[in-house]
Structure 1
Amino acid sequence: MARIIRFHEIGGPDVLRIEEVDVAGPGPGEVQIAVKALGLNRAEALMRAGRYIERPALPSGLGLEAAGIVAEVGEGVRGLARGDAVSVVPPISMARYPAYGEVATFPAAHVVRHPVTLDWTTAAAVWMAYLTAYGALVDIARLGPGEAAAITAASSSVGLAAIQIANRVGARPIAITRTAEKAEALIGAGAAHVVTLAEGGLDSRLAEAAGPDGVRVVFDAVGGPIVEPLAAAMAPGGLLIEYGGLSPEPTPFPLFTALSKTLTLRGYLVHEIIGDAARLEAAKAFVLDGLAAGALKPRIDKVFAFDDIVEAHRYLEAGDQVGKIVVRV
């Protein structure tokens, strides 16, 4: 028996329950880990609230990231053994492979031996943020030295990962955030410039921060009305990557700006990278190299105890964090 977090109905943080469950062992090609820490993601709050791309059967587990010790390996698994310290690449389905528990099972291809320098809290905060940012900025956009990249929701774990990755490839990250409260933290995290939405004039201030070459790449988690000023500040031939929908308002298509500048606007999910073995291996190599070099380092905002999962989800939904929320098991 192990303690597992599940929900039996769609709703707010209060629907989460810690239950004693008889957990089956790993199947062929799977690895079971004794979980030491969990990384929280907004996707989990969305699934719990019934607004995620995946609609689970109830009761359901949830969770996309974990770090811990290999407890059992399934038939056919190579390269991993009991006792290995590992972290988890998010699965395609968190209903099929939920992370929230004292014990969790994942496909072996998603279980990574991370650098020994990482503690459990940091290791649990790696893969969703860095794979998401890598997939957009490096794999798709081919961001390069000297180029300006605009990053919305910059204080999120993905936003901070994007800032670090942009710096890693020699680009200039421009952080976009709601108010000036987080500006100092974002500069400290490596942003070349910070533009706040509360000040207005997003297009002109973003264009000024980018310089004469403009913004070739926009990495946007928000959508909604800001898409129009984002597009207005972009360079001809630029690429706007939408990977979230934090805004509750409709997202307009900036038709005439897209036409005049021949812009590309595309949707993106990290599943593109995770679901392609070759692209995933390249991403893992990039992230592990950056972690080992110290160029990539997750920022932990707050750590909660496993028994405080409801409070952790309330804090997640408040959106005030700078970096990752982690739950220790």
Structure 2
Amino acid sequence: MADAEVVVAVPAELSDEVAAQMLVNPLTAVMLRREAEEHQAIGYDGVLVQTAAGSSVGRLVTGMCDVHGLGLINVVRSDRGAAALRKRFPDVPVVSTEHQGWAQEVRRAAVGPPVSVAFDPIGGKLTESLLDLLAPGGKLVSYGQIADEPFSVHASTLLHKSLTLQGKNIGRWLSEVSAEWRASDIAAAKLIALALTDQFEVAATYGLGELAEAVEHAVRPGKVGTVLVRPR
């Protein structure tokens, strides 16, 4: 039995594989897009930068930006990842942090408009570099801690550039938003699943008796796609 408030109907057009991924990553993308569009420059002359752009969430954000005409620069950690992402989204600039001058590459890719918003699920030194990239009045949204290390920022950076730092996650969303807001976001997540079906990749599917293998695969570096577990 499940509480009716947490049950979501799956559109008939979606496969089980996409349905299994329909909420967490799309809802995260919906939250991030809302944070970006709250900045007055996004949608006009401001550019959005996101790290971990080859991740499941990153690909959905790229697809949404493409649909809504938002300027975006993707950042990944390797040249190999950059090449793969260019094949998916040939019109979106991609920069690899494999090279020391990657931040300058981001500035060149922006071609003049300010870097107004940054999305980052990594943390650590990479976040510090993103803060340097942001234009005055910019906003950084953190939604993960892959690096598992702190980042530091001098008070003068926040004061003189008037930067905003914000954290977002699904847990806070569940506890903070109203039922009406939740229903609206879930509807948006369904639309993303229907419109960007080809971005919901599956890395592997395991049975209930293979949970240890599934967990190991889920945290494996370089994994592409989501690891699923079938009840039978």
TM-score (norm. length: structure 2): 0.86
State the AA in 2 paired with 1:289: L
CA contact (8 A) 2:218 2:226 kept: no
Q: Please, which runs of 5 or more residues in structure 2 have no aligned partner?
A: none
> Partner of 2:13: helix, strand, or coil?
coil
CA apart distance, 1:128: 0.7
Q: Tell me the alpha carbon deviations over residues 123-151 of structure 1, each in whole angstroms, 9 at most, x when there is no partner.
A: 1012111111211222x332643542211
CA apart distance, 1:328: 2.8
For the pair 1:127 / 2:127, whether they are aligned, the reply is no
Distance 2:13 2:226 in 1: 18
Q: Tell me the alpha carbon deviations over residues 6-32 of structure 1, each in whole angstroms, 9 at most, x when there is no partner.
A: xxxxxxxxxxxxxxxxxxxx2xxxx2x
CA contact (8 A) 2:124 2:148 kept: yes
Distance 1:324 1:282 in 2: 25
Which segment drifts farther, 115-124 or 164-173? 164-173
For the pair 1:155 / 2:51, whether they are aligned, the reply is no
State the AA in 2 paired with 1:116: A
For the pair 1:241 / 2:141, whether they are aligned, the reply is yes
Q: Which has the higher contact order (CA 8 A, sep 6+)?
A: 2
Which segment drifts farther, 200-209 or 239-248? 200-209
CA apart distance, 1:254: 4.4
Runs of 4+ in structure 1 over 4 Å off: none
Distance 1:290 1:121 in 2: 15
Which of 136, 152, 160 pairs up with 1:252?
152
Distance 1:269 1:192 in 2: 26
> Partner of 1:285: helix, strand, or coil?
helix
Q: Which has the higher helix share?
A: 2
Which segment drifts farther, 310-319 or 222-231? 310-319
State the AA in 1 paired with 2:54: S
Q: Say what the alpha-carbon RMSD is for the aligned residues.
A: 2.1
Aligned length: 223
Change (3 A) 1:239 1:286: same
State the AA in 1 paired with 2:29: A
Which of 282, 285, 288 pairs up with 2:184?
282
Q: Which has the higher strand share?
A: 1
Q: Please, which runs of 5 or more residues in structure 1 have no aligned partner?
A: 1-25, 32-106
Q: Tell me the alpha carbon deviations over residues 250-292 of structure 1, each in whole angstroms, 9 at most, x when there is no partner.
A: 2112433322221101112123333312322221122223333
CA contact (8 A) 1:298 1:324 kept: no
> Partner of 1:199: helix, strand, or coil?
coil
Write out aligned runs for 1:54-133 (5 A).
107-133=3-29
Name the counterpart of 1:104.
none
Write out aligned runs for 1:1-329 (5 A).
26=1, 31=2, 107-138=3-34, 140-142=35-37, 144-145=42-43, 147-190=46-89, 192-275=92-175, 276=177, 277-292=179-194, 294-295=195-196, 297-306=198-207, 307-329=209-231
Distance 1:168 1:217 in 2: 18
Give the number of the structure whose alpha-carbon radius of gyration is greater. 1
> Partner of 1:116: helix, strand, or coil?
coil
Q: What percentage of residue pairs aligned between the two structures are identical?
A: 27
CA apart distance, 1:298: 3.7
CA contact (8 A) 2:137 2:163 kept: yes
